[in-house]
A and B are shown apart, each in its own frame.
Chain A
Amino acid sequence: MTKAITLSGLRKSFGRTTALDGLDLTVETGEVHGFLGPNGAGKSTTIRVLLGLLRADGGSARLLGKDPWSDAVELHRRLAYVPGDVELWPNLTGGEAIDLLSRLRGRLDTARRDELLERFDLDPTKKGRAYSKGNRQKVAIVAALASDAELLLLDEPTAGLDPLMEVVFQDVILQAKQEGRTILLSSHILAQVEKLGDRVSIIRRGKVVQSGSLGELRHLTRTTVEAETHHAVAGLDTVPGVHGLRADGTRVHFSVDTAQLDIVLHRLADAGLRSLVSHPPTLEELMLRHYGDELAAAGHTTARTGRLSRPRGGKR
């Protein structure tokens, strides 16, 4: 079975700025692949190379077994794209824009279009200018999903959606996955990729720094444990693989490498366990491991927000 996307050693620079610095990425047919990274990491550039809108300086790219630059038009009939910043035509209505994009792609499935309009609660009679950012995003999402494209390239597709609509979006994506479509979902919203992604690639400064299934990635990381015991736990700090231990009388908080989990739990049980909260690492923690240096510099080491708040640089 051909892979949906194979990128190896992809390079692209804009003047002196290096956007992609030897990027490798593989997306299997039929999977939802999370493409995770902070702003300016090169997510949009990668997708635009896949679309043949930008020409790579080096490396190789195969999309559905073809070349994204020279076979662009043929490929575009088989895929659908939702850009991160959706701009609409001021003198066309949202409905007209959806039909336009669908017809230029190939076939328009009006029944599916109407169903999606209803699910996303979108009024198709407004002119482009009258839509809010979230509604412009919906126009692009409806146009992409109303097609029968086998591959969906989604670049931060829910950036302007409210939480209710994000739930609708997740349903629709899962439905698309069940239909056997391949989806590349770029995002910096960790919860979304956790819910939808089969596999994840983490990109940083134009390179994929980690790639694998969520399970595989978690294997590499630590579990966070918060516990309360009858009497103080002794010797936890001598156990290899325990990190960030904070003890406050009978309460402890730490993270532990998965391999040492068994030993640690025995120590806690010996001390008379009263309560225990443990959770696998969230993608946010995976991200913090890879971007910790930058976040520390920006004073965000203790940030517990759903997304990383770094200033938006030039979106290339």
Chain B
Amino acid sequence: MTTTATAGASRPTGVTTGGRRNGVLAGTGTLLRFGLRRDRVRLPVWIAAVFLVTVSTANNVKTLYPEAADRAGVARTSDSPAVLAMTGPVRYLADYTYGAMLGHRLLGLTVVLVGLMSILLVTRHTRAEEESGRAELVRSAAIGRHAHLAAALGLAAIANLALALLLTAALGGLGIESITTGGSLLYGLSVATGGLLGAAAAAVTVQLTAHTRAASGGALAVIGAAFALRAAGDAGDNGLSWVSPIGWLQRTYVFVDNRWWPLLLTLLLAAATTAGAFALSTRRDLGAGLRPARLGPPTATAALGTPLGFALRLHRGTLLAFAAAVLLLGAMYGSILGNADDMLKDVDQIQDALKRVGGTSIADSLAALTLMVVAVIAAVHAVMATLRPRGEESGGRAEPVLATGLSRAGWLGSHLTVALAGSTLLTLATGVGFGAAGAASTGDAGAFWRLLGGALAYAPALWVTVGFAAALYGWFPRAVPLAWIVPAYAFVIGHLGPLLKLPEAMNNLSPFGHVPRLPAVGMAWTPIALLTAVAAALIALGLVGFARRDLDMK
């Protein structure tokens, strides 16, 4: 009897059925089932949230705009760069049916949301596993080299396809005129493809860096850039949208023309990106990024030994990345500001409509809307920065520091100082980028100061965001993920509020709802002062809570 035969015979039945069992994908099915079990609450919540927003939007537009004339009115006011930047291409406006409204208003937004879901899913099941050391334990079992990534992508595919099925069935079953079954299927699959694109982007970024946070951030930046490119493209009607896969998906013109080929194009891109990710993963070691770890200084600088210097060092990378992002985003929006008035100044009707909603000029309305969008991005940073102490605490790194002469208030206070100053810096960077590019494109030097002032007016709302997260951290450290409600709520309200005619009270729930919409309207100091006071009170509350409670340790 040969050695080979012995080995084969001694294996349990079913293990030697094919090369795959022992190949680079061995164990993928097991990991996939394990992943479904780990995410059995998280994924259904995500899917249900996206599903409910979609279905309720479809129902609401039917109630709010019963007549074709109503919808045509919305289409007319939507034909401005500001609205097109927030929504989608102008093609949808020609015959603004309920279906066209969904494709125009909701598809881009939903793709961003499912992209976020898929990115967090992929990084959670790949890089986070490696960073924690759990992947090493799993990989020592009979698990193939590519199994972790394949299982994470499989999980993302299952989640997105489940959402697509639900959306197709529900939208098709609503029986709303113009929302056809074929269109619903295209809509559902477009959303799912957007999710797969996010998953593919994350599959690449988790190979590049050894840090989960940086991997998620990198993939989010890709989604953000894709959205920003299509926004600039749709607002300026200049072809930039064709650089963005989100632009491709919107060009299925779902419920209008129902074109399938942009969907296939996007799927091809996602597939190619995924293949690239697998190729990259063979060029690195488990736990490492593509770039080898470098050595660093053997001693600390004097600044690192101070509480504030220490906090700043931990926040530095993230803060700089966000500052660069909002500066670029501001500059990009600023550069299309100049065309806005020219393109539309002859259309009196739209001018009137915008003036009714408070805008003095189309450019100013666009500027005010843009600032709100960028402020939500700055709010994402505000939450991330404020939750950093929580990561330090649950990661076991706060314990040795708080056993030194550094007081709890000094430690948390330093992190909050960086979060507050960082938020202010982001509004400044937004204002400088937006203002400089806006002044250049409109040829109005005074626009720089107006736009900068408009951006800075958002700082107090960001401080409230910091304060809310800090108060949660001080009193309910395990509930800190609730802090993400602030930017998420502002994002959804900002995008869907006008269409769904949501009551003003819902807008007022968000700190961003109270910021004066400069430069479209005049400055109002009362809400600024009130927001600042609320922020100060929340931060004080958080510090008091943190001083009283047990540290949460491993």
Q: Which residues of A contact B (CB under 8 A)?
A: 48, 51, 53-55, 72-73, 76-77, 79, 81, 83, 85-93, 95-96, 98-101, 103-106, 108, 110, 124-127, 129-130, 140, 143, 153, 315-316
> Which of B116-124, B168-176, B293-301 is found at the contact surface with chain A?
B293-301
Residues of chain B with a CB closer than 8 A to A89's CB: 314, 397
Min C-beta distance of A93 to chain B, whole Å: 4
**For the complex, what is the distance from the CA of A153 to the CA of B399, rounded to whole Å?**
13
> Which of B332-340, B402-410, B525-533 is found at the contact surface with chain A?
B402-410
Q: Which residue of A lies closest to B302 (CB)?
A: A103
Q: Which of A53, A85, A91 contacts B403 (CB 8 A)?
A: A53
Min C-beta distance of A46 to chain B, whole Å: 13
Where chain B touches its partner, the secondary structure class is loop
Min C-beta distance of B395 to chain A, whole Å: 6
Does residue B396 face the partner (Cβ distance < 8 Å to A)? Answer: yes
Q: Is the CB of A100 within 8 A of B300?
A: yes
Other 4 A-B pairs with CB < 8 A, given A51-B402, A99-B304: A73-B405, A85-B554, A101-B404, A124-B298
Residues of chain A with a CB closer than 8 A to B305's CB: 99-100, 103-104, 108
A125 and B295 in contact (CB under 8 A), knowing A83-B400, A101-B401? Answer: yes
Residues of chain B with a CB closer than 8 A to A73's CB: 405-407
Most buried by A among B293, B306, B401, B405: B405
* Interchain residue pairs with CB less than 8 A apart (12): A51-B402, A53-B402, A53-B403, A54-B550, A91-B313, A96-B297, A99-B299, A103-B306, A104-B406, A124-B299, A125-B296, A129-B210
Q: Which residue of B lies closest to A81 (CB)?
A: B403
Residues of chain A with a CB closer than 8 A to B310's CB: 100, 104
A48 and B307 in contact (CB under 8 A), knowing A95-B300, A105-B404, A124-B298? Answer: no
Q: Which of B296, B397, B400, B549 contacts A81 (CB 8 A)?
A: B400
Residues of chain B with a CB closer than 8 A to A126's CB: 293, 295-296
Min C-beta distance of A60 to chain B, whole Å: 18
In B412-449, which residues have CB < 8 Å from any A CB? none
Residues of chain B with a CB closer than 8 A to A86's CB: 396, 400
Residues of chain B with a CB closer than 8 A to A53's CB: 399, 402-403, 550-551, 553
**For the complex, what is the distance from the CA of A4 to the CA of B407, rounded to whole Å?**
22
Residues of chain B with a CB closer than 8 A to A104's CB: 305, 307, 310, 401, 404-406
**For the complex, what is the distance from the CA of A169 to the CA of B310, rounded to whole Å?**
29
**For the complex, what is the distance from the CA of A33 to the CA of B551, rounded to whole Å?**
26
Q: Is the CB of A315 within 8 A of B554?
A: yes
Q: Which of B296, B396, B397, B404 contacts A93 (CB 8 A)?
A: B296
Most buried by B among A48, A51, A103: A103
Residues of chain A with a CB closer than 8 A to B517's CB: none
Q: Which of B210, B296, B406, B407 contacts A96 (CB 8 A)?
A: B296
Does residue B211 face the partner (Cβ distance < 8 Å to A)? Answer: yes
**For the complex, what is the distance from the CA of A48 to the CA of B549, rounded to whole Å?**
13
Q: Is the CB of A72 within 8 A of B554?
A: no
Q: Is the CB of A77 within 8 A of B300?
A: no
**For the complex, what is the distance from the CA of A90 to the CA of B213, rounded to whole Å?**
12
A100 and B295 in contact (CB under 8 A), knowing A76-B405, A87-B395, A129-B210? Answer: no
Q: Which residues of B contact A (CB under 8 A)?
A: 210-211, 293-300, 304-307, 310, 313-314, 317, 395-397, 399-408, 548-551, 553-554
Min C-beta distance of A5 to chain B, whole Å: 15
A87 and B550 in contact (CB under 8 A), knowing A76-B405, A104-B307? Answer: no
**For the complex, what is the distance from the CA of A90 to the CA of B133, rounded to whole Å?**
14
Residues of chain B with a CB closer than 8 A to A95's CB: 296-300
**For the complex, what is the distance from the CA of A269 to the CA of B306, rounded to whole Å?**
71
Q: Is the CB of A48 within 8 A of B404?
A: no
Q: Which of B307, B405, B407, B553 contacts A105 (CB 8 A)?
A: B405
The 7 closest A-B pairs by CB, nearest first: A103-B305, A99-B300, A87-B396, A93-B296, A95-B298, A104-B404, A81-B403
Min C-beta distance of A127 to chain B, whole Å: 6
Min C-beta distance of A10 to chain B, whole Å: 14
Q: Is the CB of B407 within 8 A of A125?
A: no
Q: Which of B293, B548, B553 contacts A48 (CB 8 A)?
A: B553
Residues of chain B with a CB closer than 8 A to A92's CB: 296, 300, 304, 313
Q: Is the CB of B401 within 8 A of A125?
A: no
Residues of chain B with a CB closer than 8 A to A83's CB: 396, 399-400, 403
Min C-beta distance of A104 to chain B, whole Å: 4
Min C-beta distance of A55 to chain B, whole Å: 6
Q: Is the CB of A101 within 8 A of B400?
A: yes
Residues of chain B with a CB closer than 8 A to A87's CB: 395-397
Q: Is the CB of B293 within 8 A of A127?
A: yes
**For the complex, what is the distance from the CA of A85 to the CA of B554, rounded to whole Å?**
9
Residues of chain B with a CB closer than 8 A to A103's CB: 300, 304-306
Q: Is the CB of A130 within 8 A of B550?
A: no
Residues of chain A with a CB closer than 8 A to B294's CB: 127
Min C-beta distance of B553 to chain A, whole Å: 7
Most buried by A among B295, B403, B406, B549: B403
Q: Which residue of A lies closest to B405 (CB)?
A: A77
Min C-beta distance of A121 to chain B, whole Å: 14
Residues of chain B with a CB closer than 8 A to A88's CB: 397
**For the complex, what is the distance from the CA of A101 to the CA of B397, rounded to whole Å?**
11
Q: Is the CB of B404 within 8 A of A96?
A: no
Q: Which residue of B lies closest to A94 (CB)?
A: B298
Most buried by B among A79, A96, A110, A126: A96
Min C-beta distance of B318 to chain A, whole Å: 11
Q: Is the CB of B298 within 8 A of A140?
A: no
**For the complex, what is the distance from the CA of A95 to the CA of B297, rounded to whole Å?**
7
A125 and B298 in contact (CB under 8 A), knowing A72-B407, A96-B304? Answer: yes
**For the complex, what is the distance from the CA of A308 to the CA of B314, rounded to whole Å?**
39
**For the complex, what is the distance from the CA of A143 to the CA of B399, rounded to whole Å?**
14
Q: Which residue of A lies closest to B309 (CB)?
A: A100
Q: Is the CB of A51 within 8 A of B403?
A: yes
